[in-house]
Amino acid sequence: MTKKTNKKTTGIGTYIGLVIAFIVILLLANPKWLPVSEKTRETIAELEKAHFLIERSEKITAGHFLTLLLALCVLWVAYQLIKLLLSWIGETSPRAQTVTALVIGVLKYLSFIAALIWGLSILGVNSTAVLAGVGIIGLILGFGAQSLIEDVITGFFIIFEGKYTIGDIIILDDFRGTVRDIGVRTTTIEDAGGNLKVVNNSDIRNFQNRSRNNSIAACEVSVSYGTDLRELEKMLAEELPKMLAERQDIYLEEPRYLGVTELGDSGVNLKFIVKTKEQNVFAAQRALTRDIRVLFADKNVEIPFPQVDVHQRD
């Protein structure tokens, strides 16, 4: 409930931000509406004409900063609109959600870089020099950021090979959880207790995807050695199919009796299984154990408990 509320609140905040940004763009795109001096209006008009046509000015004034605000608003609105569109597309399927999540992550970094370069250009910095500097810095960082590059490349392979998608349940290093996010560098997994595990994409090597096929919930129940197994198995053949009607929300098929697994110290161990979805595997296991216990109680089948025989010597 909290997650849905947070998501709804975030969406409302985005829409409010878009409305405010549109208002700012509208005002700054029409300098004559602003309560500033005529000189500032002229400066804003010249800068907008220059920089939105990939030109620039040399002298930094208040008009430069207002134009910078306009440019940032334009970029932010474009980013939010594309993000909303991708989010709508992502709701069509888990695969689409996974791909759009990665695209949104890449788009966020690109938007930041574009805002930085465009903003510096508006303030009078040579854009060519900025791009050259970014290229040199990127080359230097590239030698020391091999793990970062590996994470990014692995992230793209995860997406396009489709080994797992958002919403899949996976087991990674004994951590079982649902994939909540696949980013450019990391994957976020949430377990049943709400704990999050953030793993670098390059560290995801040996894992199990438990969502691709149906799962099996199993339980073992003991009966006393005095139980007639032939009669018990006839009763199970009649009663087990009836359990499906009561548990259609978690059972995919009727429970099955597999037979004797062990002759224990106090009784004969019997194994039962039922097919279910991975997200319901623990619930199905609890339900199956309960159903067998109730059935045995109704049919007077004795379930033994540990007993100790004490022999007194004369």
pLDDT number for residue 232: 92
Which of 140, 112, 116, 111 has the alpha carbon at shortest distance from 127? 116
pLDDT tens digits along 59-81: 556 677 777 788 888 888 888 88
Q: How many helices (H) and strands (E) does the chain have?
A: 8, 8
Total Cβ atoms within 10 A of residue 144: 8
String of DSSP letters for 139-195? HHHHHH-HHHHHHHHHHHHHHHHTS--TT-EEEETTEEEEEEEE-SSEEEEE-TTS-
pLDDT of residue 79: 84
pLDDT at 171: 84
Residue with tokens 């250009």: 121
Best CA proximity match to 178, nearest among 160, 197, 201: 197
Looking at residue 308, its pLDDT comes to 58
The structure's pTM equals: 0.48
Reduced to 3 states, what is the DSSP secondary structure of residue 218? strand
> What is the three-class DSSP state of 302?
coil
Helical axes 62-90 vs 94-122, angle rounded to 10°: 170
Q: If DSSP codes are grouped into helix, strand and coil, which group holds residue 307?
A: coil
DSSP 303: -
Could you please report the per-residue DSSP string of 5-48?
HHHHHHHHHHHHHHHHHHHHHHHHT-GGGSSS-HHHHHHHHHHH
Q: How far is CA 310 from CA 155, 307, 313, in A?
A: 65, 10, 10
- pLDDT for position 312: 64
Residue-wise pLDDT for 300-313, tens only, equals: 988 887 655 566 66
Candidates 158, 190, 153; CA nearest to 172 is 190
Angstrom distance (rounded) from CA 204 to CA 163: 11
Measured CA to CA, the distance from residue 27 to residue 35 in angstroms comes to 10
The two tokens of residue 206 are 């040996």
Buried/exposed 37-64: b ≥16 CB within 10 Å, e otherwise: eeebbebbbebbeebeeeebbeeeeebb
Question: 45: number of CA atoms within 13 Å, CB side?
Answer: 12
Per-residue pLDDT of the chain (314 residues; tens, 9 = 90+): 444 455 555 567 666 776 777 677 666 666 666 677 777 777 776 776 665 543 444 555 667 777 778 888 888 888 888 888 887 877 777 667 667 777 777 788 788 878 877 776 776 655 665 555 555 555 545 555 556 666 667 766 766 666 777 888 888 888 888 888 877 778 888 887 888 888 887 777 778 787 777 888 999 999 998 899 999 999 999 999 889 888 888 898 899 999 999 888 888 999 999 999 888 888 999 999 999 999 999 989 888 876 555 666 65
